[in-house]
Structure 1
Amino acid sequence: MHIKDSTAPALQKSRFVKVIECPRDAMQGWKHPIPTAVKIDYINTLMRVGFDTLDFGSFVSPKVIPQMADTEAVLAGIHRPIHDTRLLTIVANRRGAEDACRHPEIGYLGFPFSLSETFQQQNTGASITEAYERVFDIHYLAKQSDKQLVVYLSMAFGNPYKDPYSKDVVYKWAHKLASVGITSISLSDTVGVATPEEIHALTHHLVTALPDMEIGVHLHSRPGGVTEKIAAALEGGSRRIDGALGGFGGCPLAQDELVGNIDTADIFEYLQKNGYESRIDAGLLSEARRMAREIFV
């Protein structure tokens, strides 16, 4: 599905797309413990593929996400990237950010900022207002440690709680984040409800309104809707897109086991077929995908 727009050519001058691989998103909710050594081998394989960034772990309480309790041990075993792949870790408060900032290998901190009050409380134990204050604080810590904060706008396309939602809410918070110096946000379809038209509308508006901010997408989807969502984001002007090999991961709140992360292999295939560029090596991507299938069984 291609969405016509008279301004699209201006937004699509760059054909290079940053592809972000998210093994953390796939692992954190996996029902079986994954040995640290297996995580290290998998992430080192991913480091060779040519991704722009790997979302590899999180500095959050192990009581909340037991699967990520070994993030520091995993980090110690990661080889230096051969393709300048940068590492991203999720943090939810100042303490987690301070822990992450002690590691020079980490280039990005990711903060989950929900547009749903209910989900923000469930996910980070904070209100939206408190989370915004955390963003400001963590942004300062990141700058002091030569890192960049990426803010994930979760529930950016609606929520299952009937919390107030509109595109204007997304626009308001994106502008507020830009006003305090945030230079990268990712629109997250946390429960897989976004239509291609909605994805295009949000990305197009924000890419146009905030030209100095990087507008990424972190999309979840049922298998049948993947291509249209990828197309909508790229045609809307986004040049940063998250995926997880095999389409593993997702959010339990989707209440549909078929709603998972966009499969990175589908993203790569779409880029190749439609004249976009990336640094991904097709052969190494296939090798990593085989490994993912062995881990997530």
Structure 2
Amino acid sequence: MTFPSKVKIVEVGPRDGLQNEKETIPAEVKIALVDQLTQAGFANIEAASFVSPKWVPQMATSTEVMAAIQRKPGVIYSALVPNMKGLEAALAAGADEMVIFGAASEAFSQKNINCSIAESIERFRDVATLAKQEGKRLRGSISCVFGCPYQGEVGIDSVVDVLHRLRDLGCDEIDIADTIGVATPNKVHAVMQRLVQEFPIDRLSGHFHDTYGQALANIYASLEVGISIYHSSVAGLGGCPYAKGATGNVASEDVLYLMQGLGIETGIDLDKVVDAGQFISRHLGRKSASHAGNAIAAKRAAS
């Protein structure tokens, strides 16, 4: 079995990880976190979300954050954009990549945004067109690929349909997301094997949540297929709204420790990511959700 020799890790903690936090996190803390992640060597950081502050109050400081971070040449700073208003704000803030999204589950789409999958993605047509005209990267994210809190199983044909729609909008990269963390390796392997026949393998990414403790196993299954882009969140930031008390995104430190053990190059300094994870965890007043991060921090403290 041949794994990719190098992978890209997209750090989503500053956006996907922090957006569900109840307590308002000051902009300067978010800026410091993004700067630490930049220094650690991430090539792609999801730093902001230009959604209505009414719906996601935690992201209200996105413009301020994007204006103050210490950008490093070659690093892609991404922003989630739900509509044209969000895109215009993201362009003004200098985001390098615009992220649009659609669910593979019809029930999820109807419950969350009151329209069909097809309608939800069609709404992004103007966003996609303008983003490309402005020379920006466009990333599409497919949620609920492996299961939905409302309908349960999600058929592979639904996933392929959304993948084709996002491809046709001009997405440079497409995320395959296990939004509620229910996937297991055999299912992941089968789904990824199908999807690489529909879209270039080097532009597909795995976005796994650790709700049931399967995220690293699912990443391993994706590596077996040849997927070389993964999303993770420093300190395992991000809860899962459908499973009380469950963790959300897989922790960056744990993914990096896995890659290090497999001899797969990431270009990221694990020790610096551990520092960033401990920094944000201290600010949030709780222990990091990263096993590797906590183990490395404890070992340092003991030496």
The answer to whether the superposition gives a TM-score over 0.5 is yes
Shift of 1:166: 0.3
Corresponding residue number in structure 2 for 1:294 = 282
> How far apart in 1 are the matches of 2:201 and 2:152?
30
Superimposed CA distance per residue, residues 105-162 of structure 1 (whole angstroms, 9 cap, x where no aligned partner): x111111211223433454554322221123222111111111111110011110111
5 Å-filtered alignment, 1:271-286, equals 271-286=259-274
Corresponding residue number in structure 2 for 1:95 = 85
> How far apart in 2 are the matches of 1:163 and 1:229?
19
| Alignment match of 1:242 (pick from 204, 210, 231) | 231
Superimposed CA distance per residue, residues 41-78 of structure 1 (whole angstroms, 9 cap, x where no aligned partner): 11111111111211111000000000001100111110
Gaps of 5+ in 1: 1-7
Cα contact 2:121–2:165 (8 A) shared by 1: no
Corresponding residue number in structure 1 for 2:163 = 174
- What TM-score, normalized to structure 1? 0.89
Q: What SS is found at the alignment partner of 1:176? A: helix
5 Å-filtered alignment, 1:149-188, equals 149-162=138-151, 165-188=154-177
Q: What SS is found at the alignment partner of 1:33? A: coil
Structure 2 residue 36 is matched with structure 1 residue 48 = no
Q: What SS is found at the alignment partner of 1:238? A: coil
Structure 2 residue 159 is matched with structure 1 residue 146 = no
Corresponding residue number in structure 2 for 1:3 = none
Superimposed CA distance per residue, residues 260-297 of structure 1 (whole angstroms, 9 cap, x where no aligned partner): 11010111011111121111012311211211211232
Shift of 1:208: 3.4
Q: Give the fraction of aligned pairs with identical amino acids, expressed as a percent.
A: 34
Shift of 1:235: 1.4
| Alignment match of 1:258 (pick from 243, 246, 251) | 246
Q: What SS is found at the alignment partner of 2:86? A: helix
Query: Which consecutive segments of 4 or more residues in structure 1 shift more than 6 A?
Result: none
Corresponding residue number in structure 2 for 1:120 = 109
Structure 2 residue 177 is matched with structure 1 residue 196 = no
Corresponding residue number in structure 2 for 1:5 = none
The farther-off stretch of 210-219 and 34-43 is 210-219
Q: What SS is found at the alignment partner of 1:289? A: helix
Counterpart residue identity of residue 230, structure 2? I
Corresponding residue number in structure 1 for 2:62 = 71
Instruction: Give the RMSD, CA atoms, in angstroms.
Output: 2.0
> How far apart in 1 are the matches of 2:48 and 2:113?
16
Change (3 A) 1:247 1:271: same
Corresponding residue number in structure 1 for 2:51 = 60
| Alignment match of 2:256 (pick from 268, 273, 287) | 268
Q: What SS is found at the alignment partner of 1:88? A: strand
Change (3 A) 1:43 1:133: same
> How far apart in 2 are the matches of 1:142 and 1:177?
14
> How far apart in 2 are the matches of 1:192 and 1:264?
16
> How far apart in 2 are the matches of 1:121 and 1:72?
30
Counterpart residue identity of residue 165, structure 2? K
- What TM-score, normalized to structure 2? 0.87
Cα contact 1:120–1:126 (8 A) shared by 2: yes
> How far apart in 2 are the matches of 1:114 and 1:167?
12
> How far apart in 2 are the matches of 1:49 and 1:56?
15
Q: What SS is found at the alignment partner of 1:186? A: strand
Cα contact 1:220–1:250 (8 A) shared by 2: no
